[in-house]
Amino acid sequence: TAEPIRAQPGTQRPDIPDIDQVVWTLLHPDGSVPDPDATPIYRLWADAVLVLDESLRRLDCDDDTRYWVGIAVREAVANAIKHGNRQDPGKKVEIDLRVDGGELIISVLDEGGRFDPERVADPLSAENLLKPDGRGIFYMGKFMDGVEYSFRDGGGTEVTLRKRIAAGVGSPERN
């Protein structure tokens, strides 16, 4: 049996497993060990998470907001890589972060096919509690103020995550 995933040193919330390790496990169910030098998709994904966190720091977002937004974005990117692009290294995932008024807007776009978010099984129903799929969409909906899906004609799903942030965050005087 596999060892349970434990929180890593430096995790902001020690009561919750390190999300990077959880996502690595979801993307690599074969049990392989993360090697950022040998895994370009994972390395780029990790870089995107670092840029997101630094951007949220510069916007003076509090620790809880950065933590929960970070989880939602990690889930969106992991879904784009695993389910949208089917882990095809030739396909891209685009991430856009912007502030509009008091709202943080993050878009994640993959190059995969369309999907129907309504067809994703409820991860809280008894028959799905032990299944690994469906939790990312659930988490995004719980941690963000809004989640929207749009689809490109030539293929690709765009997930737009929205989070209200404190008034004045992101204004030129503060940065």
Strand segments (E) across 19-136: 94-100, 103-109
Nearest-angstrom CA–CA distance, 41 and 38: 9
Report the pLDDT value the prediction gives residue 117, as an integer from 0 to 100.
Answer: 84
Report the pLDDT value the prediction gives residue 89, as an integer from 0 to 100.
Answer: 79
Average pLDDT over every residue of 74-99: 88
Report the pLDDT value the prediction gives residue 167, as an integer from 0 to 100.
Answer: 52
Query: How do residues 88-118 score in pLDDT, each as one tens digit?
Result: 878 888 999 999 989 999 999 999 988 888 8
Average pLDDT over every residue of 48-65: 88
Tokens 């997101």, located at residue = 52
Q: Report CA-CA distances (Å) from 169 to 71, 77, 136.
A: 20, 24, 27
Report the pLDDT value the prediction gives residue 107, as an integer from 0 to 100.
Answer: 94
Residue 60 above 60 pLDDT?
yes
Query: How do residues 119-172 score in pLDDT, each as one tens digit?
Result: 888 999 999 888 877 888 999 999 999 999 999 988 899 999 999 997 545 444
Q: Report CA-CA distances (Å) from 28 to 14, 39, 61, 123, 135.
A: 23, 11, 32, 20, 16
Q: Is the pTM of this model over 0.95?
A: no
